[in-house]
Structure 1
Amino acid sequence: MKQINLIALLLFCIGTTNTFAQKNKKMDIIAYYTGDDKLINEYEVNKLNQIIFSFCHLKDGKLSVDSPKDSTTIKYLVSLKASNPQLKIILSLGGWGGCEPCSAAFSTAEGRLTFAKSVKEVSDYFKVDGLDLDWEYPAIEGLPGHLFQAADKPNFTELIKILRSTLGKKYELSFAAGGFQKCLDESIDWKGVAPFVNRINIMSYDLVNGYSTVTGHHTPLYSTNPKEESTDRAVEFLLKQGIPAEKLVIGGAFYTRTWKNVANVNNGLYQSGEHIQGVPFKSYADTYTEANGWKYFWDDKAKAAYWYNEKEKTFATGDNLTSIKAKAEYAKSKKLGGIMFWELPLDSPRDGMVNTIYQVKIAK
Structure 2
Amino acid sequence: MLSLRLTEIICCAGLLIYLLPVFFCLQEPSRNALDQLRQNKRDVPVSLPLPPPAANFNTSIPTLSLTPSQEPSFVLFPGQAQDPIAIIPILGPSNDFNSSRTPTDGTDRNGCPSKALVMGYYPDWVSFTFPPEKIDFRRFDWIDFAFAVPNAKFALQWDEPQTAPKLLKRLVSLAHAANTKVKLSIGGWTGSKHFSSAVSTDQSRRTLVNNIASFYKTYNLDGIDLDWEYPGHKGAPGNTVNSNDSANFLSFLKLLRTVLPAPARLSAAVETVPFTNSKGNPSMDVSGFAQVLDWVVLMNYDVWGSSSKPGPNAPFRDACGNSTQPGANAVAAYNSWTSAGFPPCKLVLGLPSYGYISSSTAQRLRTRADSNAVKVINDDGDSEGQIQFKELVAQGALVITYDDLESLNMKAAFAKRVGMLGINFFDIHGDTDQWDLMATIRKSMSLP
TM-score tier after normalising by the smaller chain length: 0.7 to 0.9
Is 1:191 paired with 2:191? Answer: no
1:169 deviates by 2.9
1:92 is matched with: 185
**Quick one: structure 1 residues 253 and 245, their matched pair in 2 at CA, closer, same or farther if it must change by over 3 Å?**
same
In structure 1, C-alpha distance between the alignment counterparts of 2:208 and 2:119, rounded to whole Å: 25
Is 1:241 paired with 2:360? Answer: no
Is 1:352 paired with 2:436? Answer: yes
2:31 is matched with: none
1:42 is matched with: 134
2:305 is matched with: 209
Is 1:71 paired with 2:71? Answer: no
In structure 2, C-alpha distance between the alignment counterparts of 1:64 and 1:111, rounded to whole Å: 16
Normalised by the length of structure 2, the TM-score is: 0.64
1:139 deviates by 0.6
1:145 deviates by 2.8
Contact map agreement 1:177 1:183 (CA 8 A) in 2: no
1:220 to 294, 315, 332: 315
**Deviation readout 1:188-245 (Å, 9 max, x if unpaired):** 66222111001100001112235x6632222111112164321110111111122111
Secondary structure of 1:255's aligned partner: coil
Contact map agreement 1:132 1:173 (CA 8 A) in 2: yes
Secondary structure of 2:345's aligned partner: helix
Secondary structure of 1:260's aligned partner: strand
Name the structure where strand makes up a greater proportion of residues: 1
2:201 to 74, 96, 108: 108
1:25 to 93, 114, 121: 114
Within 5 Å, which residues of 2 pair with 1:268-347?
Answer: 268=365, 272=369, 274=374, 312-347=396-431
Aligned AA (1:230): N
In structure 2, C-alpha distance between the alignment counterparts of 1:207 and 1:149, rounded to whole Å: 24
1:349 deviates by 2.3
1:51 is matched with: 143
In structure 1, C-alpha distance between the alignment counterparts of 2:376 and 2:281, rounded to whole Å: 29
Question: Taking every aligned residue pair, what percent have the same amino acid on both sides?
Answer: 26
Contact map agreement 2:308 2:360 (CA 8 A) in 1: no
Secondary structure of 1:113's aligned partner: helix
- The alignment covers a number of residue pairs equal to 314
**Quick one: structure 1 residues 351 and 36, their matched pair in 2 at CA, closer, same or farther if it must change by over 3 Å?**
closer
**Deviation readout 1:289-313 (Å, 9 max, x if unpaired):** xx998xxxxxxxxxxxxxx999542
**Quick one: structure 1 residues 275 and 355, their matched pair in 2 at CA, closer, same or farther if it must change by over 3 Å?**
farther
In structure 2, C-alpha distance between the alignment counterparts of 1:223 and 1:317, rounded to whole Å: 16
1:270 deviates by 5.4
1:7 is matched with: none
**Quick one: structure 1 residues 99 and 339, their matched pair in 2 at CA, closer, same or farther if it must change by over 3 Å?**
same
Is 1:250 paired with 2:345? Answer: no
Contact map agreement 2:231 2:275 (CA 8 A) in 1: no
Aligned AA (1:178): E
Secondary structure of 1:362's aligned partner: coil
**Quick one: structure 1 residues 175 and 31, their matched pair in 2 at CA, closer, same or farther if it must change by over 3 Å?**
same
- Structure number with greater CO (CA < 8 Å, separation at least 6) is 2
Normalised by the length of structure 1, the TM-score is: 0.78
1:232 to 310, 320, 331: 331
Aligned AA (2:171): L
Give RMSD over aligned pairs. 3.0
2:363 to 264, 279, 287: 264
In structure 2, C-alpha distance between the alignment counterparts of 1:361 and 1:275, rounded to whole Å: 41
Secondary structure of 1:222's aligned partner: coil
In structure 2, C-alpha distance between the alignment counterparts of 1:275 and 1:93, rounded to whole Å: 37
Aligned AA (1:148): V
Is 1:152 paired with 2:225? Answer: no
1:283 is matched with: none
Secondary structure of 2:127's aligned partner: coil
